[in-house]
Amino acid sequence: MRLGLILGEVGQGLRRNISMVISIVLVTFISLTFVGAAILLQVQINEMKGYWYDRAEVAVYLCTEVSNAGNCTLSVATPEQIAAVEAELESDTLAPYIERFEFENRDQAFQNFQNQFADSPIVELVEPEFFNEAFWVNLVDPTQSDILVESLGSMAGVESVEDQRAYLDGIFAILNAASITAVGIASLMLVAAVLLIATTIRLSAFSRRRELGIMRLVGASNGFIQTPFVLEGVFAALIGSVLASGAVVVIVQVFVQGYLGGSLSTTTSFVGLSDALLVIPVLLGLGIVLAALSSSFAIRRYLRV
Amino acid sequence: MIRFDQVTKLYKGNTRPALNAVSLEILKGEFVFLVGASGSGKSSFLRLVLKEEKPSKGEVHVLGQRLNTIASRKVPYFRRSLGVVFQDFRLLPNKTVFDNVAFTLQVIGKSKGFIQEAVPDVLKMVGLAGKASRFPHELSGGEQQRVAIARAIVNRPAILLADEPTGNLDPSTSAGIMTLLQRINANGTTVLMATHDAGIVDQMQRRVIELVSGQVVRDERGGGYQTQAVPVQQPFGLAAEEGSAR
């Protein structure tokens, strides 16, 4: 009886304010889609960090005849110097930090370059002499590249020691900025959604103030008066959250897995449906909690005795 | 039933109190008229009984409860033992007579079976047995007020508050309403009625409390409507003598 009565009130309120309810649905939909996108972007960044940091190597570039950077003096690193670097890499001080390393001569570097840029006209412009000889080092802990920089950077015949992670950090910084932007937009939109819900509930309460007045007069409990309005706000926000969840699934399935996954799947792993399914409860919960809080706050004024 | 103990009500931004150190007691089963000019504090008095307002000073006791300390969460449950009727009826225009009365019981969580039984009973008592499915705008003013009274008493309250219930009605309709209120009072409900209607008060000869500028200037049993203000509040016995001498 009471439940039926409350649900009846909710339905009546929703119908009476249909345009406001639609705007709540849309605003929560968009804001929560941004929230979902931001969360997935963070997951993606972590996944990519795990993937790429394992593959990132430290390059120890050796001198060429055209280089005078670092310890170079416009002459090629001598075999003795190369042997010294190799000995240092195998020494007791560095060996514990190094998983494996390999030496790459100019022809190999040229070959790798040609493979990598096979379709590009730049291949025809380069010659093996353009490349440095180098040691490629995989570290046990990729964050400890400073040790190599310190110990090898000052050796004769070494042009520079470079950590490839430095390039990746730039990419991740961009992705991070994108996800922070998404969070920023999402929070602004959520503020708008909360205010919109509060306004709608006030409007709804105002259009029912006769009933509310009588309810208070005859002693309807605060919970009874409040519930239809809270449910009204929660219901509208819930529709928005469900739409946002759907949008997140579609984005992951069609754009990330379908488009990005199709063209880049060999080099990177992407967030999948399982990650999207983890985000959905967050979106639904966020939508419901915000709507319940703002509408119960909005209706409080009508309950004051 | 209702006891006011040195109650002063001062509204914000108003230096003159709406009620000034009012002390009085209304007993179970009494029928009390509250008379006085507009702005004399009648409505404030009723609002204090309903706990729609808090007294600025003093204490209000209703039905054995000290209203100053009652938790706002419990106010709705307190109000279930009061019935209220207004000059403007305050019916819901989109509900039938039956639903208007049933609404009261629905929102306090009474069962469907109870509602099906109680509402026709109370409609019969107020003389609207055949009009349960009418809408308020199809009824006369007197009939609308009967619906409002039915709504106020359907939950069998101990006290019925009436704020100028006959203010919008012609004299003969008013007489009908008064007969109804009298019958409700005879069934044991305490009735407290604020009114301007001199004819009714003179005819009924019940307890009359007169307010002037927020002060009780007269409290007599079996009194009439008497608007000329007595400057000093008379002791109860003297006022009663005066009333009966007249």
A54 pLDDT above the threshold of 80: no
* Closest CB from A217, A224, A225 relative to B84: A217
Task: Evaluate the CA torsion angle B82, B84, B90, B93 in order and state its sign.
Answer: positive
Does A214 contact B80 at a Cβ distance shorter than 8 Å?
no
Does A218 contact B78 at a Cβ distance shorter than 8 Å?
no
Does A218 contact B79 at a Cβ distance shorter than 8 Å?
yes
Question: pLDDT tens digits, residue range A56-85?
Answer: 788 888 888 777 777 777 777 788 888 888
* Closest CB from A2, A219, A225 relative to B80: A219
CB < 8 Å to A2, chain B:
106, 109
Listing from the earlier edge strand, what are the strands of the sheet with A98-104? A98-104, A134-139, A58-62, A158-163
Residue B162 or residue A254, greater confidence: B162
Does B108 contact A222 at a Cβ distance shorter than 8 Å?
no
Q: Tell me, what's the ipTM?
A: 0.81
Residue A76, amino acid: V
pLDDT at B105: 93
Q: Where are the alpha helices (DSSP H) in chain A?
A: 2-16, 18-55, 79-90, 106-116, 145-153, 165-207, 209-218, 222-250, 261-264, 273-303
CB < 8 Å to A207, chain B:
none
Question: pLDDT tens digits, residue range B168-201?
Answer: 899 999 999 999 999 999 999 999 999 988 888 9
* Closest CB from A2, A217, A225 relative to B79: A217
Q: Quick check: B80 contacting A, CB < 8 Å?
A: yes
Listing from the earlier edge strand, what are the strands of the sheet with B190-195? B82-86, B159-163, B190-195, B31-35, B207-212, B215-220
CB B68 within 8 A of CB B3: no
- For residue B152 the two structure tokens come to 């106020």
Kindly identify which residue of chain A lies nearest to residue B111, measuring between CA atoms. A1
Question: pLDDT tens digits, residue range B14-52?
Answer: 888 999 999 999 999 999 999 988 888 999 999 999 998
Q: Which residues pair with B26 in a beta bridge?
A: B2
Interacting residues of B118 by C-beta distance below 8 A, sequence separation 6+? B105, B110, B154
Q: Which residues pair with B208 in a beta bridge?
A: B33, B220
CB < 8 Å to B77, chain A:
219, 221
* Closest CB from B50, B90, B111 relative to A214: B90
Please tell me the distance from the alpha carbon of residue A290 to that of residue B8, in angstroms, as a whole number. 43
CB A27 within 8 A of CB A193: yes
Does A220 contact B155 at a Cβ distance shorter than 8 Å?
no
Does B108 contact A305 at a Cβ distance shorter than 8 Å?
no
Please tell me the distance from the alpha carbon of residue A243 to that of residue A92, in angstroms, as a whole number. 59
Does B109 contact A217 at a Cβ distance shorter than 8 Å?
no
Does A219 contact B111 at a Cβ distance shorter than 8 Å?
no
Please tell me the distance from the alpha carbon of residue A191 to that of residue A141, in angstroms, as a whole number. 43
Please tell me the distance from the alpha carbon of residue B41 to that of residue B37, in angstroms, as a whole number. 9
Kindly identify which residue of chain B lies nearest to residue A227, measuring between CA atoms. B107
Question: pLDDT tens digits, residue range A144-170?
Answer: 788 888 888 778 788 888 888 888 888
Distance from CA of A197 to the nearest CA of B (A): 25
CB < 8 Å to B109, chain A:
1-2, 224
CB < 8 Å to A216, chain B:
76, 79
Does B77 contact A219 at a Cβ distance shorter than 8 Å?
yes
* Closest CB from B72, B92, B108 relative to A219: B108
DSSP result, A188-248: HHHHHHHHHHHHHHHHHHHHTHHHHHHHHHHT--HHHHHHHHHHHHHHHHHHHHHHHHHHH
Q: Tokens 């039926």 — which residue?
A: A4
* Closest CB from B107, B111, B112 relative to A218: B107
Question: pLDDT tens digits, residue range B62-102?
Answer: 999 999 899 888 899 999 999 999 999 999 999 999 999 99
**Three-state DSSP state, B128:** coil
- What's the alpha-carbon Rg for chain A, to the nearest Å? 31
* Closest CB from B84, B103, B109 relative to A2: B109
Task: Give the C-alpha distances (Å, rounded to integers) separating A48 from A54, A102, A139, A164, A258.
Answer: 10, 25, 18, 14, 18
Q: Quick check: B108 contacting A, CB < 8 Å?
A: yes
Interacting residues of B206 by C-beta distance below 8 A, sequence separation 6+? B30, B31, B32, B33, B221, B222, B223
Mean of the per-residue pLDDT values of chain B: 88
Determine which of B107, B149, B160 to mutate to test the interface with A (most A C-beta atoms within 10 Å): B107
- For residue A6 the two structure tokens come to 């409350």
Lowest mean pLDDT among A199-208, A245-254, A267-276, B158-167: A267-276
% of chain A residues with pLDDT over 90: 24
pLDDT at A94: 81
* Closest CB from A211, A220, A304 relative to B108: A220
Distance from CA of A195 to the nearest CA of B (A): 26
CB A37 within 8 A of CB A251: yes
Does A211 contact B51 at a Cβ distance shorter than 8 Å?
no
Q: Tokens 């040195």 — which residue?
A: B6
Does B106 contact A5 at a Cβ distance shorter than 8 Å?
yes
